[in-house]
Amino acid sequence: MPSIRLPPAVLVATCCQFADAVVITDTAGYVAALERGSQEIKRAEGDPAYPAWKLLRSYSSVMSMATLAGRPAQAVELGRRQVVLAERKGNVSDRNSALRELVEVLLWSGAAAEAVEPGRRALALSELEYGLAGPRTLLNLGNLVKVYVALGRLDDAAPLMRQGLQVADDIPAPAYAKSEFYDVAVSYYRARGETAAAEKVLANAPKERHAFGSTLVLDPPSRMPVPVDGACKQVYPDEAKAYGLEGEVQADIHVARDGAVKGVALSRSSGWAVLDKAAVAGFAKCRFVPAERDGLRVAESMAMKHRWVSERPARAILIPGTCAWGESFVAVDAGRPAAIRIRFKVGAKGKVAEPVIEYSQAPDRVSAQALRLLKACRYKAAGAGSAWLDWKG
């Protein structure tokens, strides 16, 4: 297990019900925080009303404490519990984050062989939800390359490395995922004995480094970027209005030293591509009072959310018992992981009209079957609606 060098002071975002943040300067402090966090998690697990999203965040935070306290077995156990909860009650982003963090802690604890399967699952999820390019996919590509390098499986790492370098070229620099992947690339080429390739990667690597998304933030800015009043407007797209689409979008935003946005990457989808695209475009036009560190303006990454809410058309109310999904499909609540997402309009007679398959991981014939079954559903009044379906195939 690699040794851990503690910085003079680390700001640790803690979990659960105790302090919002504490400053820890030695291993004993991490051990004490780990014990408190573990007790809070135990109480939360015993409370059926405790929000799943909050418990997932607690797992992540306390797992980081376990690594800094030098407790690999406890960190891995917390990581596995986080994955189980994310798969039961989380959305795709939650599952992705939990799997990625489990891979990282397995690597740290020296259990690279156990990290192959969750590493592959995390990569498949990010490619499915965020596409082949983007920071989330790049982070998972990097983690899987690290796993294969640790196992000496350099030929398995080669195609992932090629894909990752291509993705990194498409991400605005500087970006935290891009910086991390270049570090992985250097290690990969050095493991292959290709010194010239490693030096080329170092020459192209971003000079600014970011730790956005980490539980631990070293040397945090004294002030994060602040949106300028009236300079961050979102325009609800006309196509979304026609279908009454709603949902919350979250994006990672890189703000330069002059307050301009230099990069936007979707980190959590609303479930509807038209809303995601509009939100990212709106975030890109924002202006900020830049972050400061030691009295100087600095570039910094941050997360921003926007919730799209539609007042028209009215949400169509389903007449119970009219949707017969059969044995192939199960309807799930909007915003939950779903194999098929369909948006549609409802005419004056309560019939489904103009259905559009927004997303599907099922074969074309299965998607077509879902559309046929949807058209048999009946609604009480005209409006718009959506169907989120799990496919049992």
Asked if the structure places residue 316 within a domain, the reply is no
Asked if the structure places residue 138 within a domain, the reply is yes
User: Tell me, what's the pLDDT at 294?
Assistant: 66
Q: Is the pTM of this model over 0.75?
A: no
Q: Are residues 291 and 335 in the same domain?
A: no
Asked if the structure places residue 225 within a domain, the reply is no
Asked if the structure places residue 324 within a domain, the reply is no
Q: Which of 193, 217, 241 represents a domain boundary (last residue)?
A: 217
Q: Are residues 149 and 32 in the same domain?
A: yes
* Number of domains composing the chain: 3
Q: Are residues 60 and 124 in the same domain?
A: yes
CATH number of the CATH domain containing 283: 3.30.1150.10
Q: Are residues 297 and 351 in the same domain?
A: no
User: Tell me, what's the pLDDT at 278?
Assistant: 92
Q: Which of 217, 240, 257 represents a domain boundary (last residue)?
A: 217
Domain range for residue 170? 10-217
User: Tell me, what's the pLDDT at 14?
Assistant: 33
Q: Which of 160, 189, 217 represents a domain boundary (last residue)?
A: 217
Q: Are residues 185 and 262 in the same domain?
A: no
Q: Are residues 177 and 255 in the same domain?
A: no
User: Tell me, what's the pLDDT at 21?
Assistant: 38
pLDDT by residue for the chain (393 residues), tens only, comes to 333 333 333 333 333 333 333 444 456 766 787 888 888 898 888 888 888 888 888 898 888 888 877 888 888 999 999 999 998 888 877 888 899 999 999 998 889 999 999 999 998 888 776 666 677 888 899 999 999 999 999 999 999 999 888 878 766 544 567 778 888 898 899 999 998 988 888 877 765 544 433 333 334 556 788 888 888 889 999 888 888 888 888 888 888 888 898 888 787 788 788 898 999 999 999 999 988 876 778 788 788 889 998 867 777 888 988 888 887 888 887 666 667 888 899 988 899 999 988 888 778 888 899 999 999 899 988 888 888 888 775
Q: Are residues 89 and 121 in the same domain?
A: yes
CA 299, CA 290: separation in Å to the nearest integer? Answer: 7
Asked if the structure places residue 378 within a domain, the reply is yes
| The token pair that represents 208 in the structure block | 């600014």
Asked if the structure places residue 317 within a domain, the reply is no
Q: Are residues 213 and 249 in the same domain?
A: no
User: Tell me, what's the pLDDT at 269?
Assistant: 81
Q: Are residues 62 and 88 in the same domain?
A: yes
Which candidate, 389, 348, 346, places its Cα nearest to that of 370?
389
CA 272, CA 289: separation in Å to the nearest integer? Answer: 31
Residues in the chain: 393
Q: Are residues 304 and 343 in the same domain?
A: no
CATH number of the CATH domain containing 184: 1.25.40.10
Q: Are residues 366 and 266 in the same domain?
A: no
CA 123, CA 69: separation in Å to the nearest integer? Answer: 29
Asked if the structure places residue 1 within a domain, the reply is no
The answer to whether 383 touches 329, Cβ cutoff 8 Å, is no
Q: Are residues 84 and 201 in the same domain?
A: yes
Asked if the structure places residue 193 within a domain, the reply is yes
What own/partner pairs with CB < 8 Å and gap ≥ 24 does 162-167 have?
163/132, 164/138, 167/132, 167/133, 167/134, 167/137, 167/138, 167/141
